[in-house]
Chains A and B, each alone.
Chain A
Amino acid sequence: MLLTITTTAKPATDLGFLLHKHPDRVQEFGQSFGMARVFYPEAAADRCTAALMLDVDPIKLVRSRGRSSPDFSLSQYVNDRPYAASSLLAVALADVFRTARTGRCDARPGLAAGPVPLEITLPALPCRGGPELAARLFEPLGWRAEARAVPLDEGFPEWGDSRYVRLALSGEVRLADALNQLYVLLPVLDDAKHYWIAADEVDKLIRAGEGWLATHPERGVITRRYLGRRWALTRTAFARLAEVGDDVEEDLEPPVEEEPAAPEHEPSPPPNASALESAALEGVESEGVESPGVVPQGAGSPGEESGGEPRVPLSTLRRQAVLAALEGLGARSVADLGCGSGQLLADLLKRPAFARIAGVDVSTHALAMAARKLKLDRMPDAQRGRLELFQGALTYTDRRLAGYDAAVLMEVIEHVDPPRLPALERVVFGAARPVHVLVTTPNAEYNVRYEFLTGHRHPDHRFEWDRAEFAAWAAAVCERYGYRVVLQPVGEEDPEVGAPTQMGVFSRAERAETGE
């Protein structure tokens, strides 16, 4: 809500000319979400400070927006936007200092053209990535950045720091550049925008970044966050930035996400947790999943161990293993239970041997995404006829699940609460009773090989089993429902802890074997 800009250039009151705002008046600029005001707390010859104060009306903000607002916090009246320096402040700044941002100043052209000593303070800057990120983004631009974390609540010290920092910048910077940098970097630090990101955002970014963004070492982060992780747009921007700078396009895509290592080391869409998948998946070829507290791993899977040659992502290995097993079993009809956004379905469709394919998920959102990714509406009839997509829950029996040669539960069971597993077993092995059931699940023993992992590989995992636990479960299921199982590792096997993923291939035991 507050931004102050101070100069100690002599005479300091020339700041009024540079900003095109008179130091002795309070000037108001109406915004769609409230009122922006510029006034000068101090205006002396040696030091002059302009304050941009934004009065956000949270109720107006909520009522002017639909429920599909991209920034969830906006749909709440209890909202930090009236206090924090967010994209709203960036928008107000762009509007209020429109002329100053262009660097035009007829009264003091020389002053506007060159660096001036500036101090900028932002008392409550939402900063995803902490004070360090603020420093990393501003310091390469010639600022000394002093960022101090704001505690969440002094009454509850155990709660730790909030996501806000008090940021004080000082340096010799051209004022227009300073304004443009703030315009771009405020929403980047906040990592949330209050408006939908449209294609013209790329233009806005390129324009505002003129002269500093193309050479900024963190341009990858800045671009990606500014464009709200819309991959297609990010690629366009990368390409255009590459034209501006000397880099080639690929180099702009950092190999790893900029933020602290995420718990999800083997990104795969949780089939049951698909609702958590955000728009980040749209157009993204990687399988990054953005869920609260989890940072997606960007394109490809980071080489978490050695960082040597590029590795095949575990999720790909897993799909390959499942497909090989299905082909080995000679399955003609396959139900992918917990199909998520349909990656396995796409692989199955490419193989005509699979004549009948069903994609089942509990999330209608996941099914819609699968339909979109598989381009269901444009699929030729012959191929379309092989595929069925429908909502189902593995804790409810469902006659539509019966009659398949094989059912695949790829990374599904660990999303089910242990007390509910018997229900799943009954639905799959007892009621649907496919000839074969393929189950993959993480091997918990392997978790020690993930450097930064604490807890489970995904926040929605209700358990992760070691090999003995999985084997015991599989044996019990076989006993109860008349199946045999073959267990096999998926992914590179570690001599000590085994492979990252374990797979059980269950086959219905012949009746003769259960009988006399």
Chain B
Amino acid sequence: MSSEISVPELSLVVLVGVSGSGKSTFASRHFKPTQIVSSDFCRGLVADDETDQAATGDAFDVLHYIVGTRLRRGLLTVVDATNVQWESRKSLIELARSHNVLADAIVLDVPEQLAIDRNAVRPERAFGPAVVVRQRKDLRRSMSKISRDGFRRVHVLRGVEEIDAATVSRERAWTDKRDLTGPFDLIGDVHGCRSELETLLGTLGWQIERADGRAVGATHPEGRTAVFVGDLVDRGPDSPGVLRLVMGMVAAGTALCVSGNHEQKLARSLNGRKVRVAHGLERSLEQLALEPPEFVERARLFMDGLISHYQLDGGGLVVAHAGLKEEYHGRASGRVRSFALYGDTTGETDEYGLPVRYPWAEEYRGRATVVYGHTPIPEPEWVNNTICLDTGCVFGGALTALRHPERELVSVPAEQVWYEPVKPLAAAAGRRDPAVLDLGDVAGTRHVDTRFGGRIKVREENSAAALEIMSRFAADPRWLVYLPPTMAPPETSRLEGYLEHPAEAFAEYHQAGVGEVVCEEKHMGSRAVAVLARTPEVAAARFGVDDGGTGAVYTRTGRPFFTDPALVTELVARLRHDLAPLWEELGSDWVVLDCELLPWSAKAGELIRRQYASVGAAARTALPEAVAALESAAARGIDVGTLLDHTRRRHENAARFRDAYARYCWPVSGLEGVRLAPFQILACEGRLLATREPHAWHLGVLSRLESELIAPTRSVFVDLADEASREAAVGWWKALTAEGGEGMVVKPAQFTEGRVQPGIKVRGREYLRIIYGPDYTESLDVLRNRFLGRKRSMALREHALGLEALARLTEGDPLWRVHEPVFAVLALESEPVDPRL
């Protein structure tokens, strides 16, 4: 005879049996070693002695900690301890409940003498037969009432034979429909609005089956599955009709339905329980009274059998009537059911006597999309990858459906107000909260998964440093959807007189298998990111900014470009005006641009004066007097050696240095004199243009803009296999830098995945005086000894993070998901790296 035991896939399995009943053997036969936590093992952990009874208290603390951690992480766990006493089982059941998992008990009942004999041959169990006798007495006493302990099921195996023959299988949770991949049509609270439901299903392309003129089922020609978020009944004109249709669909497998609080209450009422007949229940009862009893009975069974929530589509979609926080997905407990049916409440009630809801969705950080109803709102709105579909049809609003995975909303208006709401619909709408980010989204050691650079680690101290910058200086995080990566220079040139030269950049890309590169003029300005929305409404809908703002322009560390907010507003307004052709060209109402803002002095004026001009002033004043002093000494016939020549050359270098910075300074007043040079259109609605389009496209689109504010970016394309093409580009670079240009950026002509630098900056000989000092040309040999590794690695990681942020933005991810990689870029920037690279 063989017993088949089935335990839930995620559960706590409590073995019960005296010492020597074969629990460990049984456990190891049916479960993975890592799933089993034994009290003996824990005793050994805390006492170096598995039999030290004095350590039992501590050992069980450890056991509970391990079990609790595993359950929290969603792992099936088996407790291998005698558990013959009620108290020990009770604490384990409580532990399981606190993690919202079910507990099963498996009792191994063996003859007393067998257990005693088994222990006798095991030296570590030299505690004599009395212990087993006592444990068996406890077990006997337990057996009569163990079924009331709170286990989902108690499996009893009597005798060695039955124990040896038993099999253990895993049972899928009722909520687990992850194997269903849809596509789905999720439908909000119907509340007896059968006619609107039929209209909505029709709009969605469903074909309704009728019997005696009544809708009894529906199928979709494309095989879609409908999912009802509950509250089919009450308040509305035809709850039985809605039930008939949905029951038919569910029975035919074309729909799923989770329980709403109204189904729960109606079923209780039909079950003869005493419930307060209010909130529209009276209508359902009246309507059902007119139906034949068989139908009422079927409806009762249907509603009674509805479960709290479903996990669908590989776990990526969760449906629950009132929503569900992440740690409850796929869990089973009274608390989970209560959350799913009634939502999270603060325990308070508002002025209408309705419970005040806790805004769990604002704190939601899960990857699964959560779809729910329950709280009527005027318009469905995504909040952190969750959405409420209850648009109050029965109150005269609309019946709404969400197509998944298309994320399309479809609604039909109510035919009339079927039931007067207790409080006006609009009043129930949540105020949009400003940038609801939590410290947990950014603090501590983090691992950010990126699609173009794998998992990127951010160290705790870097997060801490970034937190200060972000909260003290950065622009509003809702606009801060991207930060540009740092850019590495090429391998150091060995050419006489040069520290950097295009040859190394070309060689590197050629070696990496890149066929064509673009060389873009490097504007000597300040890196700027411009985020622009076509209208304030787009800003509100797409960026959650509802203060009337329509965009932002910020620096590469996320700071607003001008301290005067009016200037930023004006710049944004002018950019939106001048870039207007992009809206049509891109088919998007918003755009993110990578740019350079000119002149350098507009942002760096203070730095230029304090650092560069100061050095220039000191040099200009000191060197002529030094030259004069040396000349006088030389005139006296003193041998000053090469010192005079050297000092004269330094004087010339100082003048070149001064010219190098002065070239990038011109006075600006307000926006007068400010120019923006966009060189890449990073993203727009639905498209990550940074990776999708080649640079030729970006430069082409941008070059067609006609605007005084917009500066063009000169460029040449280089076929790396063609020596002449390379040489031409070197000539171009030389000309550019000879007339005072900063240099150029070399990039693969198309986005290239893998560990290829996204861009390499090749800076001009004169420009480098600003970086390495006026006399750097005198010390090239020393300076050639520079290390690029860290800078290059940072550039790759930051690039991947920046693209990740944009990708998340284009996919409509919630703010915290976009903010995470942006914050990580800032955190990486706090890693020490030679600032001259």
Q: Measuring CB to CB, which residues of chain A are less than 8 angstroms from any residue of chain B?
A: 1-2, 4, 24-26, 37, 39-43, 49, 51, 53, 57-59, 67, 73, 76-80, 82-85, 121, 123-124, 126, 150-153, 155-156, 158-159, 162-164, 166, 272-273, 275, 362-364, 391-399, 415, 417-420, 422-423, 426, 430, 511, 514-516
Please judge, given known A-B contacts A396-B439, A516-B351, whether A363 and B636 are in contact too, CB under 8 Å. no
Please judge, given known A-B contacts A24-B638, A39-B633, whether A78 and B612 are in contact too, CB under 8 Å. yes
Interface of B (DSSP majority class): helix
Q: In the complex, which residues of chain A have a beta carbon less than 8 angstroms from the beta carbon of B836? A: 77
Q: In the complex, which residues of chain A have a beta carbon less than 8 angstroms from the beta carbon of B622? A: 1-2, 83-85, 123-124
Q: Report the separation of the CA atoms of residues A53 and B643 in the bound assembly, to the nearest whole angstrom.
A: 10
Please judge, given known A-B contacts A2-B622, A166-B621, A362-B471, whether A426 and B436 are in contact too, CB under 8 Å. yes
Q: Would you list which residues of chain B between 439 and 490 have a CB under 8 Å from chain A?
A: 439-443, 461, 464-465, 467-468, 470-472, 476-477
Q: How many residues of B contact A (CB 8 A)?
A: 71
Q: Report the separation of the CA atoms of residues A67 and B468 in the bound assembly, to the nearest whole angstrom.
A: 20
Residue in B348, B350, B439, B632 whose beta carbon sits within 8 Å of that of A42 in the complex: B632
A-contact bits for B428-441, CB 8 A (1 contact / 0 none): 00000111111111
Q: Report the separation of the CA atoms of residues A14 and B609 in the bound assembly, to the nearest whole angstrom.
A: 44
B472 touches A26 (CB 8 A): no
Q: How far is the CB of B348 from chain A (nearest CB, A)?
A: 6
Q: Report the separation of the CA atoms of residues A26 and B644 in the bound assembly, to the nearest whole angstrom.
A: 12
B667 at the interface (CB under 8 A from A): yes
Q: In the complex, which residues of chain A have a beta carbon less than 8 angstroms from the beta carbon of B209? A: none
B682 at the interface (CB under 8 A from A): no
Please judge, given known A-B contacts A151-B617, A164-B617, A362-B472, whether A59 and B667 are in contact too, CB under 8 Å. no
Please judge, given known A-B contacts A26-B638, A396-B437, A396-B471, whether A515 and B351 are in contact too, CB under 8 Å. yes
Q: How far is the CB of B429 from chain A (nearest CB, A)?
A: 15
B630 touches A364 (CB 8 A): no
A515 touches B632 (CB 8 A): no
Residue of A nearest to B352 (CB): A516
B773 touches A79 (CB 8 A): yes
A39 touches B617 (CB 8 A): no
Interface of A (DSSP majority class): mixed
Q: Report the separation of the CA atoms of residues A83 and B625 in the bound assembly, to the nearest whole angstrom.
A: 11
Interface with A: B135-143, B183-191, B775-783, which one?
B775-783
Q: Report the separation of the CA atoms of residues A449 and B443 in the bound assembly, to the nearest whole angstrom.
A: 43
B52 at the interface (CB under 8 A from A): no
Q: Report the separation of the CA atoms of residues A43 and B633 in the bound assembly, to the nearest whole angstrom.
A: 9
A272 touches B472 (CB 8 A): yes
Residue in B433, B612, B618, B779 whose beta carbon sits within 8 Å of that of A59 in the complex: B779
Q: In the complex, which residues of chain A have a beta carbon less than 8 angstroms from the beta carbon of B433? A: 426, 430
Q: In the complex, which residues of chain B have a beta carbon less than 8 angstroms from the beta carbon of A37? A: 643
Please judge, given known A-B contacts A51-B629, A53-B629, A419-B547, whether A78 and B640 are in contact too, CB under 8 Å. no
Please judge, given known A-B contacts A79-B773, A514-B351, whether A159 and B618 are in contact too, CB under 8 Å. no
Q: How far is the CB of A219 from chain B (nearest CB, A)?
A: 28
Residue in B471, B547, B641 whose beta carbon sits within 8 Å of that of A395 in the complex: B471
List the 9 closest pairs (A to B, CB-CB), nearest first: A41-B632, A393-B471, A83-B618, A162-B617, A124-B622, A77-B773, A422-B434, A396-B439, A123-B625
Q: How far is the CB of A375 from chain B (nearest CB, A)?
A: 23
Q: In the complex, which residues of chain B have a beta carbon less than 8 angstroms from the beta carbon of A79? A: 615, 773
Q: In the complex, which residues of chain A have a beta carbon less than 8 angstroms from the beta carbon of B783? A: 59
Q: In the complex, which residues of chain A have a beta carbon less than 8 angstroms from the beta carbon of B461? A: 364
Q: A41-B633, A156-B662 are in contact. List 8 more A-B contacts (CB 8 A).
A: A4-B629, A77-B776, A84-B622, A272-B471, A364-B461, A393-B439, A395-B437, A398-B440
Q: In the complex, which residues of chain A have a beta carbon less than 8 angstroms from the beta carbon of B621? A: 83, 123-124, 150, 164, 166
6 A-B residue contacts at CB 8 Å? A37-B643, A39-B630, A77-B771, A396-B443, A397-B438, A417-B560
Residue in B629, B640, B662, B775 whose beta carbon sits within 8 Å of that of A2 in the complex: B629
Residue of A nearest to B609 (CB): A159
- Tell me the number of A-to-B contacts counted with CB atoms below 8 Å: 192
A59 touches B782 (CB 8 A): yes
Q: How far is the CB of A485 from chain B (nearest CB, A)?
A: 20
Residue in A42, A153, A395 whose beta carbon sits within 8 Å of that of B617 in the complex: A153
Q: Report the separation of the CA atoms of residues A275 and B442 in the bound assembly, to the nearest whole angstrom.
A: 20
Residue of B nearest to A67 (CB): B832
Q: Would you list which residues of chain B between 619 and 668 have a CB under 8 Å from chain A?
A: 619, 621-623, 625-626, 628-630, 632-633, 636, 638-641, 643, 654, 658, 662, 665, 667
B241 at the interface (CB under 8 A from A): no
Residue in B472, B614, B638 whose beta carbon sits within 8 Å of that of A40 in the complex: B638
Residue in B434, B614, B639 whose beta carbon sits within 8 Å of that of A80 in the complex: B614
A58 touches B617 (CB 8 A): no
Q: Report the separation of the CA atoms of residues A153 and B655 in the bound assembly, to the nearest whole angstrom.
A: 11
Residue in B438, B629, B654, B776 whose beta carbon sits within 8 Å of that of A41 in the complex: B629
Q: How far is the CB of A148 from chain B (nearest CB, A)?
A: 10
Please judge, given known A-B contacts A59-B783, A392-B439, whether A158 and B667 are in contact too, CB under 8 Å. yes
B618 touches A415 (CB 8 A): no
A511 touches B467 (CB 8 A): no
Q: Report the separation of the CA atoms of residues A2 and B772 in the bound assembly, to the nearest whole angstrom.
A: 22
Q: How far is the CB of A427 from chain B (nearest CB, A)?
A: 9
Residue of B nearest to A422 (CB): B434
Q: Report the separation of the CA atoms of residues A77 and B636 in the bound assembly, to the nearest whole angstrom.
A: 35
Q: In the complex, which residues of chain B have a beta carbon less than 8 angstroms from the beta carbon of A57? A: 779
Q: Report the separation of the CA atoms of residues A2 and B626 in the bound assembly, to the nearest whole angstrom.
A: 6
Q: In the complex, which residues of chain A have a beta carbon less than 8 angstroms from the beta carbon of B442? A: 396
A40 touches B617 (CB 8 A): no
Residue of A nearest to B473 (CB): A417
Q: How far is the CB of A60 from chain B (nearest CB, A)?
A: 8
B615 touches A80 (CB 8 A): yes
Residue in A77, A83, A396 whose beta carbon sits within 8 Å of that of B772 in the complex: A77
Q: In the complex, which residues of chain A have a beta carbon less than 8 angstroms from the beta carbon of B636? A: 40-43
Q: In the complex, which residues of chain B have a beta carbon less than 8 angstroms from the beta carbon of A85? A: 622
Q: In the complex, which residues of chain A have a beta carbon less than 8 angstroms from the beta carbon of B832? A: 67
Q: In the complex, which residues of chain A have a beta carbon less than 8 angstroms from the beta carbon of B630? A: 39, 41, 53
Residue of A nearest to B774 (CB): A78
B611 at the interface (CB under 8 A from A): yes
Report which residue of B350, B560, B773 has the largest number of chain A beta carbons within 10 angstroms of its beta carbon: B773
Q: In the complex, which residues of chain B have a beta carbon less than 8 angstroms from the beta carbon of A420? A: 471, 476
B46 at the interface (CB under 8 A from A): no
B410 at the interface (CB under 8 A from A): no
Residue in B351, B436, B613 whose beta carbon sits within 8 Å of that of A153 in the complex: B613
Q: Report the separation of the CA atoms of residues A391 and B461 in the bound assembly, to the nearest whole angstrom.
A: 11
Q: Report the separation of the CA atoms of residues A362 and B467 in the bound assembly, to the nearest whole angstrom.
A: 7
Q: Report the separation of the CA atoms of residues A515 and B611 in the bound assembly, to the nearest whole angstrom.
A: 61
Q: Report the separation of the CA atoms of residues A2 and B782 in the bound assembly, to the nearest whole angstrom.
A: 25
A152 touches B613 (CB 8 A): yes
A515 touches B436 (CB 8 A): no
B626 touches A53 (CB 8 A): yes
Q: In the complex, which residues of chain A have a beta carbon less than 8 angstroms from the beta carbon of B587? A: none
Q: In the complex, which residues of chain A have a beta carbon less than 8 angstroms from the beta carbon of B771? A: 77-78
Q: Would you list which residues of chain B between 580 and 616 have a CB under 8 Å from chain A?
A: 609, 611-616
Residue of B nearest to A394 (CB): B471
Please judge, given known A-B contacts A83-B619, A153-B617, A153-B658, whether A40 and B643 are in contact too, CB under 8 Å. no
Q: How far is the CB of B39 from chain A (nearest CB, A)?
A: 34
Q: Report the separation of the CA atoms of residues A275 and B468 in the bound assembly, to the nearest whole angstrom.
A: 9
Q: Report the separation of the CA atoms of residues A417 and B480 in the bound assembly, to the nearest whole angstrom.
A: 15
Q: Report the separation of the CA atoms of residues A430 and B435 in the bound assembly, to the nearest whole angstrom.
A: 13
Residue of A nearest to B356 (CB): A511
Q: Report the separation of the CA atoms of residues A399 and B623 in the bound assembly, to the nearest whole angstrom.
A: 61
B476 touches A419 (CB 8 A): yes
B468 touches A362 (CB 8 A): yes
Q: Report the separation of the CA atoms of residues A83 and B615 in the bound assembly, to the nearest whole angstrom.
A: 8
B638 touches A25 (CB 8 A): yes
Q: In the complex, which residues of chain A have a beta carbon less than 8 angstroms from the beta carbon of B623? A: 83
Q: How far is the CB of B598 from chain A (nearest CB, A)?
A: 17
Q: Report the separation of the CA atoms of residues A163 and B632 in the bound assembly, to the nearest whole angstrom.
A: 29
Q: How far is the CB of B821 from chain A (nearest CB, A)?
A: 16
B565 at the interface (CB under 8 A from A): yes
